[in-house]
Structure 1
Amino acid sequence: MRKDPLLRFVLILFAGFLFFCALYFAKSILIPLSFSALLSMLILPLCKKLEHWKFPRWLAILSCFLVAIIIIGAFVTLFIFQVISFTDNLPMYKELINSKIGHIQRFLEGLIKVSPKDQTAFMKEKMSGFMSNGGEYIKVAFVETTGTFATIGIVFICTFFFLYFRDRFKNFILKIANPIYEEKTRMIITASSKVAARYLSGVFIVIIILSVLNSVGLMIIGLDNAIFFGISVAILNIIPYIGVPIGAVLPVVMALITRESLWSAVGVIAVFSFNQFIENNFLTPNIVGNKVNINPLATIIVLLIGGNLWGVSGMIIFLPFLGVLKITLDHVKPLNPYAYLISTDETETSILSRIKSLFNRKK
């Protein structure tokens, strides 16, 4: 293999293909385990703090679970109430949509010379398949929802045992590693755990702040169900670059339906654009930090891979795992070029850092 670079490249390519095949076909097992690993990294600092205060390990873990459930439960409960409020207004929105469709049909009649009756018949024909399979869609949605709750239970159980047996996992990694690199291996384990914990806790804080900013901005515009849309778009911000544009589509459409002026829709776009600017340049660099400083190209590639292999779960999970991988690459000298390839210069991560550098330069 050393004498034949082509053979080495082919074998590496084949190994990579097998690796991604394994990720795809084992996703039903790996997705809950991955969420459990990330959640355990998130809870670990608080768990260690409680153990330092003489809590038994099992009690410290359960106490962390209780805190997490209270915080996440309050957030989810608020969101559910907003969803209920939104669904209660659907009949009103239906009338507004029918009114808007009437205007559009009359416009199309003058443009393409097709009567509203023919347009309605065409729409009914296209919708008939969806309506006839509506029961099947509801059944699939119910099964998916039930599966989600079962997965959440598995995630919490696995997280408990990941935290409870964490010393065993750490010793296992140290045993299989070369004894010469034991100190470096310990550094990698500690750094990876810290970066994952800071990343996940920071993301959650940013979601809360964005939920408030989005909701307040939409309330100022006067959009109905502003809190519902504000929280929805903030949650989708987990998916870099594309989450916010996708989430903004529905509130923009609702602004077009419920308001006569186009300026309401423009205002919605302006609110999300401004908040996205604040998040990219001030919130994320200072709350999440620059430890997961992955460049945009690597981020997009990881999102594409994660989305194709594990769907939305992959788009959420793969990025923090890439950050953990980068920590490993940074600490292993032969792999430093790969860390450099996927990273970005910390001084270029935000406008705030540039302002700080200019201020320090003037000093």
Structure 2
Amino acid sequence: MTDMPLTVKRSIELLGIVLIGAVLVIGNDIIMPIIMAFFISILILPIFRKLVKIKFPEVAAIIVPILMLAVFLGLIIWFFSAQVGMLVQDFPDIKKNVGIHVKALQDWIGKISHISTNEQAKFIQEKSDDLLGMAGKAASGAAVTLSSIFVFVGLLPIYIYLMLFYKDILLRFIFMWFKADHHPKVKEAIYETEAIIKNYLVGLLIQVSYMTILLGGILLLIGIKHALLIGVIFAILNLIPYVGALIGNLIGVLLTLTSSTEIWPVVTVLGVIAAIQFLDNNILMPRIVGSKVKINALFAILGVIIGGSIAGVSGMFLSMPIIAVLKVIFDRTETFKQWGVLLGDERPTKSPMTFANFRKKQPVNTKAGVEKTKEKD
């Protein structure tokens, strides 16, 4: 490939991107469980190694961490189900509060426009009928979706077990793709990829825990109803970069509106969420994850959107670790180094249009690096 013209190389790269995207779209039901299992197997790999070190049988050393993970996820599902059950019990009050809010909204619209209350009620009824029709169509495909979820969950522990059991074969396969001279770089990339995935996933688990405790606990102390449910929903949705926090805010506002007839709880919920997000983004999460791989916001958002369009919610969750792994690989290959630069957030100190050295495939001074140097001085 080094003897090929540059235009041919770039054409092959772009064609490869298109082919990979097509394969992911066509085979996402098969590929996504495998990717998810790969990340989870990296997460539980330290436990497996410790059990093997203390002379545990290899099969048991694989099964034990899988069971521990299943119990942990079961506790999360139980907690979430209990909170939803409490919400269902308050349905009569919710219906009453929603009616009050709708009436207040209708009065406000009537004051600022010439639309009467009857016309608004007719419009709401028509849209409600449309929504019910859409819900009926969605329910017709619910059985297929539910069955695919069961298949996904059922295959996941099998894939995790087999990946850990045959990990040495997989590693040998990776090394055999490269020349012996490149093996040190491949080994370094494998170790860094493992560290990035492990730190990222452990960081997310810790983040969900403290976000639920902080947000739910503070709202509970203030007296907000369904505080723990708001906390756990926002903590889980916050795992989806950028988009999840917005959806979490909207759900928090809706849950607060349905449980109260006043506006101050909504303002309180938004204020507490904003404060905890600031604490999480600027202080807690950077120290917990501690990843050296930085992805710029543009491709983080694009990754979430593309992942969601390809594989739904699981694709949105997995987009960031996949991009981080790709960046590690790109940074260590001369052929694809420009793609690593594109994904990263290390901006050059000068424009490549005016400084020719910043157009080459070599380390350059970045704005973040200059700021760190100034701090040391």
Q: How many residues are aligned here?
A: 355
CA drift of 1:83 comes to 1.1
Summarize the Cα distance change of 1:11–1:71 in structure 2 as closer, same or farther, 3 Å threshold: closer
Any conservation in 1 of the 2:196–2:291 contact (CA below 8 Å)?
Answer: no
- Partner in structure 1 of residue 109 of structure 2: 108
The alignment's TM-score, normalised by the length of structure 1, stands at: 0.89
The residue type paired with residue 170 of structure 2 is F
User: Which of 289-298 and 325-334 deviates more?
Assistant: 325-334
**Contact 1:221–1:268 (CA<8 Å) still a contact in 2?**
no
Query: How is 1:310-349 mapped onto 2 (pairs within 5 angstroms)?
Result: 310-344=311-345
User: Against the structure 1 CA distance between its residues 5 and 336, is the aligned structure 2 distance closer, same or farther, given a 3 Å change threshold?
Assistant: closer
2:218 matched residue in structure 1: 217
- 2:352: which partner in 1? none
Which sections of structure 2, spanning at least 5 residues, go unmatched? 348-365
1:124 maps to which residue?
A: 125
User: Quick one: structure 1 residues 325 and 6, their matched pair in 2 at CA, closer, same or farther if it must change by over 3 Å?
Assistant: closer
Shift of 1:334: 4.9
CA RMSD of aligned residues (A): 2.6
Q: In 2 relative to 1, CA 314–118 (structure 1 residues): closer, same or farther, beyond 3 Å?
A: same
How many Å separate the matches in 2 of 1:227 and 1:146? 30
* CA distance in 1: counterparts of 2:190 and 2:76, whole angstroms: 32
Q: Which residue identity does 1:52 align to in structure 2? A: K
Aligned 8 A contact 2:303 2:320 in 1: yes
Structure 1 132/3 Cα, relative in aligned 2: closer, same or farther at 3 Å? closer
* Partner in structure 2 of residue 44 of structure 1: 45
Whether the 8 Å contact between 2:294 and 2:344 is mirrored in structure 1 is yes
Shift of 1:295: 1.9
Offset, 1:272: 0.9
Q: What is the correspondence of 1:260-299 to structure 2 with a 5 Å cutoff?
A: 260-299=261-300
Contact persistence 1:199–1:292 (CA under 8 A): no
- CA separation of 1:21/1:64 partners in 2, compared to 1, >3 Å: closer, same or farther? same
The TM-score normalised by the length of structure 2 is: 0.86
Q: Distance in 1 between matches of 2:11 and 2:332?
A: 27
CA drift of 1:335 comes to 4.0
Match of 1:233 in 2: 234
Q: Which moved more, 1:138-147 or 1:204-213?
A: 138-147
Cα deviation, 1:197-220, whole Å, max 9, x if unaligned, reads 121111111111111111012213
Q: Distance in 2 between matches of 1:345 and 1:132?
A: 49
Match of 2:178 in 1: 177
Partner deviation per Cα, 1:246-291 (whole Å, 9 max, x = no partner): 1111221333444444332121111111111111112211111123
Per the alignment, residue 32 of structure 1 pairs with 33
Distance 1:154 1:45 in 2: 22
Once the two structures are TM-superposed, the CA of residue 91 in structure 1 deviates from its matched residue by 2.2
- Cα distance in structure 1, aligned partners of 2:282 and 2:62: 35
The equivalent of 2:152 in structure 1 is 151
Between 1:8-17 and 1:163-172, the stretch displaced more is 8-17
Distance 1:245 1:141 in 2: 26
Of residues 324-333 and 65-74 in structure 1, the stretch that sits farther from structure 2 once superposed is 324-333
User: What residue number does 2:350 align with?
Assistant: none
Provide the rounded CA distance (Å) in 2 between the counterparts of 1:158 and 1:334: 32
Equivalent position SS for 1:173: helix
- Corresponding residue for 1:167? 168
The reply on whether 1:14 has 2:15 as its aligned counterpart is yes
Change (3 A) 1:38 1:348: farther
In structure 2, relative to structure 1, the CA distance for the partners of 1:136 and 1:44 (3 Å cut) is same
Structure number with greater CO (CA < 8 Å, separation at least 6) is 1
Structure 1 residues 134 and 309: alpha-carbon distance in aligned structure 2, compared to 1, 3 A threshold = closer
Q: Which moved further from structure 2: 30-39 or 189-198?
A: 189-198
Q: Residues 145-204 of structure 1: CA distance to partner in whole angstroms, max 9, x if unpaired?
A: 332122111111111100110001001111222122122222222221222112111111
SS of 2:141's equivalent in the other structure is helix
Q: Distance in 1 between matches of 2:163 and 2:133?
A: 46
Mapped partners of 1:328, 1:137: distance in 2: 40
Task: State the alpha-carbon separation in 2 of the partners of residues 342 and 14 from structure 1.
Answer: 19
Aligned-pair identity in percent equals 28
